[in-house]
């Protein structure tokens, strides 16, 4: 389906869209709640200076924080989802802009909380927790707060840091609006001479198609459009990096990496272990490139060949069939688990299913306590859409169970844990299909999808993480950075991963950083690699029938942020402070390469 043939938003059947009325019946109801939340801000400020009035008063104050946080979450989700499903909707864009501003105001209004709690002292607060039952849930929060004490600033500085959160969103918003809405791409040229429109929504399908000329011209034109704006995109990302450096220095951390990992109590060794293990196993990728090159019958493999189909006949998988296969694959988790997913997908409208004009590229799970765990995707009824749904349902089930079992203060689980749940779903469902289905053609497609996912998580994301570290360190050292330097850094890193089996186009491959909005979330990308590692380790335990593995995994999903991420994972049976889980997942990758070699000869 091309961009020009995509339906407009109002042409999508309501049953195929996310359940917006479950959050607010209408935009007018959203507006009313938005205004009420804004009007409630003085009630937050009125609490300033009174947290020391006693344990009961503190509990009352935290209840106010809790209520406003939940209300703000619903307001934010409605505005954001409405915008993402149709970026051409100017009213939705305006609501999203307003709610981003509100978010900054909320952070500023709440900024006094942590400094005032710290001023009470850990011993006194612990005594209050023991005497006031309503404070018991904050035990981990308070303990973590005193762990971070050296990096919490005065109320005035904390208020200022809260206030800058809104304008600091400008760099990522500008990048997304440029790449999703304003950037124009030359059409691809198919082998028969027909033109094929290129956009962030259509690119993935073209690259996964059999027409090599269409793949080549689509990939080149997509990269060239970003290269045309390389200086603007570079300046934007450099601004974001400088913002990260500012935040790091404002909170007195030694590096941006340390600052990003510190909030979740993750040692920097976890990051470096992942990078070192990835580099050790790069030859596995070289072997895969060689097998893929021979399988598709070309002399030289190019980047646009990475997603080329290895079979002529492609499985047609409807959304409804995908839901059933996913539920079958997750059957070891129990009927309660699968029934929740089935109900969410087929009746409660968790999922905004199909593409439409103006819909943001990609897919994600999004929600807040008090809403459904929504999913935005663009289903193409193929193996990749099936896998995407499984992935996002992993996030949504994580959110669903966390929100059900945790108070608001622990409902925002870390990104470090998020990618475990999503990749766990994919690992379980792939294993089920490879075990149950006998069709070699389907086996190849399942492995293709798995390699596509592993390529993203275990090749692109570690490569982006290395790029991110290098660019941040240059800014930290006060060195210059520009578009050409960033392209060269990326090209060198990709060259190492491609080896002699892949052709490198230094400019077009090197601009890859500009196509990933993930880089606007500081040190986010490495967590894809650690996440998929934890996921495969947990899935392997359940598939092997390891005693208590299912219960331990469900407890992991319910934990939210009630403990530190590494400790939550340890409770489920995975220790990411060592390379073992990463090594185990590279073993899965190598096994898939072996099986693919057998299937394609």
Residues catalogued as catalytic: 392
CA distance 580 to 578: 6
CA distance 113 to 51: 8
Using an 8 Å Cβ cutoff, are 376 and 364 in contact? yes
For residue 358, the number of C-alpha atoms closer than 13 Å in the C-beta half-sphere is 18
Say how many Å lie between the first and final Cα of the chain, rounded.
32
Q: In sequence order, what are the beta bridge partners of 375?
A: 351, 365
CA distance 413 to 559: 8
CA distance 50 to 592: 60
Using an 8 Å Cβ cutoff, are 124 and 77 in contact? no
Are β-strands 195-196 and 351-352 bridged in parallel, bridged antiparallel, or unpaired?
unpaired
Which two tokens mark 461?
A: 């994301």
- Torsion-angle region of 316 (φ positive above 0: left; ψ -120 to 50: alpha; else: beta): beta
- Tell me the three state secondary structure of residue 352: strand
Closest CA to 534 of 561, 567, 562, 572: 572
For residue 440, the number of C-alpha atoms closer than 13 Å in the C-beta half-sphere is 10
- Tell me the three state secondary structure of residue 193: coil
Which two tokens mark 477?
A: 């050292």
Residue 374 is inside which H or E element, if any? Answer: strand 374-376
Q: CA–CA distance from 153 to each of 79, 120, 143, 255 (Å)?
A: 32, 15, 17, 17
Closest CA to 577 of 513, 516, 533: 533
Q: In sequence order, what are the beta bridge partners of 195?
A: 189
Q: Which residues of 100-130 are buried (b: 16+ CB within 10 A; e: fewer)?
A: bebbbbbbbbbbbbbbbbbeeeeeebeebbe
Using an 8 Å Cβ cutoff, are 252 and 558 in contact? no
């Amino acid at each position: 389906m091309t961009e020009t043939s995509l339906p407009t938003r109002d042409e999508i059947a309501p049953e195929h869209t996310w359940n917006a009325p479950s959050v607010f019946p209408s935009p007018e109801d959203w507006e009313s709640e938005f205004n009420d939340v804004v009007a409630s801000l003085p009630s937050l400020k009125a609490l300033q200076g009174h947290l020391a009035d006693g344990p009961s008063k503190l509990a009352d104050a935290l209840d106010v924080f809790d209520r406003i946080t939940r209300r703000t979450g619903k307001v934010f989700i409605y505005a954001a989802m409405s915008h993402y499903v149709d970026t051409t909707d100017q009213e939705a864009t305006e609501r999203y802009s307003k709610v981003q501003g509100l978010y900054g105001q909320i952070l500023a209004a709440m900024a006094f909380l942590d400094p005032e709690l710290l001023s009470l002292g850990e011993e006194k607060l612990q005594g209050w927790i023991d005497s006031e039952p309503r404070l018991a849930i904050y035990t981990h929060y308070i303990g973590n707060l005193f762990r971070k004490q050296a990096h919490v600033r005065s109320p005035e500085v904390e208020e200022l840091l809260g206030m800058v959160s809104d304008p600091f969103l400008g760099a990522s918003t500008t990048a997304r609006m440029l790449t999703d809405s304003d950037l124009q791409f030359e059409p691809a040229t198919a082998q028969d001479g027909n033109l094929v429109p290129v956009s962030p929504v259509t690119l993935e399908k073209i690259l996964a198609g059999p027409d090599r000329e269409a793949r080549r011209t689509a990939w080149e034109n997509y990269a060239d459009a970003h290269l045309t704006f390389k200086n603007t995109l570079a300046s934007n990302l450099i601004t974001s990096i400088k913002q990260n450096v500012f935040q790091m220095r404002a909170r007195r951390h030694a590096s941006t990496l340390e600052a990003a990992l510190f909030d979740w109590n993750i040692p920097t060794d976890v990051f470096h272990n992942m990078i070192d293990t990835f580099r050790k196993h790069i030859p596995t990728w070289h072997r895969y490139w060689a097998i893929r090159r021979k399988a598709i019958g070309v002399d030289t493999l190019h980047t646009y060949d990475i997603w080329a189909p290895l079979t002529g006949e492609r499985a047609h998988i409807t959304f409804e069939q995908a839901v059933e296969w996913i539920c079958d694959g997750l059957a070891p988790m129990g009927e309660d688990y699968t029934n929740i997913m089935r109900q969410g997908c087929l009746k409660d409208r968790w999922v905004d299913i199909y593409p439409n004009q103006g819909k943001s590229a990609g897919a994600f799970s999004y929600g807040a306590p008090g809403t459904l765990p929504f999913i935005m995707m663009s289903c193409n009824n193929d193996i990749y859409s099936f896998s995407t749904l499984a992935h996002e349902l992993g996030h949504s089930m994580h959110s669903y169970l966390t929100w059900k079992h945790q108070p608001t203060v622990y409902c925002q689980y870390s990104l470090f844990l998020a990618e475990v749940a999503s990749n766990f779903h994919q690992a379980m469902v792939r294993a089920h299909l490879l075990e149950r289905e006998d069709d070699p053609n389907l086996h190849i497609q399942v492995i293709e999808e798995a390699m596509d996912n592993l390529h993203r998580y275990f090749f692109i994301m570690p490569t982006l993480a290395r790029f991110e570290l290098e660019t941040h360190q240059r800014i930290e050292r006060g060195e210059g950075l520009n578009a050409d330097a960033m392209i060269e850094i990326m090209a060198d890193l990709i060259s190492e991963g491609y080896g002699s089996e892949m052709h490198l186009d230094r400019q077009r491959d090197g601009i890859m950083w500009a196509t990933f909005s993930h880089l606007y979330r500081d040190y986010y990308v490495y967590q894809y690699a650690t996440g998929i590692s934890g996921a495969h380790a947990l899935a392997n335990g359940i598939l092997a029938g390891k005693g208590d593995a299912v219960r331990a995994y469900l407890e992991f999903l319910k934990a939210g942020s009630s403990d530190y991420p590494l400790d939550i994972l340890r409770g489920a049976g995975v220790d990411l402070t060592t390379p073992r889980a990463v090594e185990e997942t590279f073993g899965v990758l190598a096994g898939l390469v072996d099986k693919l070699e057998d299937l394609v000869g």
